[in-house]
Structure 1
């Protein structure tokens, strides 16, 4: 049985469906059918604007975003698709916190739904730091169908790992 490292937390029957698509060589077709487009958010500036727009739409009271960028150093070996950070610095007599989001560069080539899902995930961490029920409820509020997108993103990562 082929181990599916990105899908280990999912029930066996779902993993079996993915294995069947893999065995038949149809995993890429499944993804192409569901997610035929690629987004056009290619620069860090465009990514910042994209994330800011989502924040303004759903999280107006959350802290300001100071930096949003694609990061070549983020890779799947660290299990990081994106990172959110709050960097605190002393400036004069005040403590300033800068909020940053970094998205793995491999998502420059992904479907727009996957990019949105990752940005929503990282923005949700500004309100809820842990992956708990409230966190996923917020993700679902900002991106209806969030759970299906997360599952399909994991299928996409499985497909990317296949020898081409």
Structure 2
């Protein structure tokens, strides 16, 4: 099936339904009915504040974040929507550590639910480095609809690839 690389692990029943929506040019309408407007967190500062709000609510005692930014170099081609990086540096007799979260810049214009799912995923890496059962339990703790949002984000990416933008882009404030 053409254009369904983001749904590669899903059943034939699911992918054929999505393919029918694509063929009828209805996937965008389905997404817009469920997620009618994009979020307003278009600057790196507003993304940082959004992320820190979630972190402070669910992971107050976890390691601090030094940076949260949109990154135009992140490519969904490499199966990345966001990245969590941990950098350790020796400064004199001290070892300093910095945690950074980078979100693909294509999510500047997306529903807040998709942005939240990506941020929750990257924040979960502060506690769990691997994608294991504990990792996904932590994601679901922070966002109970995590798995549905992940699927819907895959639909969104499929729509972007096959039909183009769903929302009009506005310049960051």
TM-score range (shorter-chain normalised) is over 0.9
Indicate the SS of the match to 2:6.
Answer: coil
Please state how far the C-alpha of 1:2 moved relative to its aligned partner.
Answer: 2.6
Please state how far the C-alpha of 1:3 moved relative to its aligned partner.
Answer: 5.1
Does residue 44 of structure 1 match 2:51? no
2:39–2:111 CA contact under 8 A, matched in 1? yes
State the match for 1:74 in structure 2.
74
State the match for 1:140 in structure 2.
140
* TM-score between the two structures when normalised by the length of structure 1: 0.97
Unpaired runs of 5+ residues, structure 1, are none
Q: Distance in 2 between matches of 1:133 and 1:16?
A: 29
State the match for 1:158 in structure 2.
158
Unpaired runs of 5+ residues, structure 2, are 165-173
Q: Distance in 2 between matches of 1:123 and 1:112?
A: 16
- Higher relative CO (Cα under 8 Å, sequence separation at least 6) belongs to 2
Indicate the SS of the match to 1:127.
Answer: coil
Q: What do you get for the CA RMSD once the two structures are aligned?
A: 1.0
State the match for 1:6 in structure 2.
6
2:139–2:146 CA contact under 8 A, matched in 1? yes
* TM-score between the two structures when normalised by the length of structure 2: 0.92
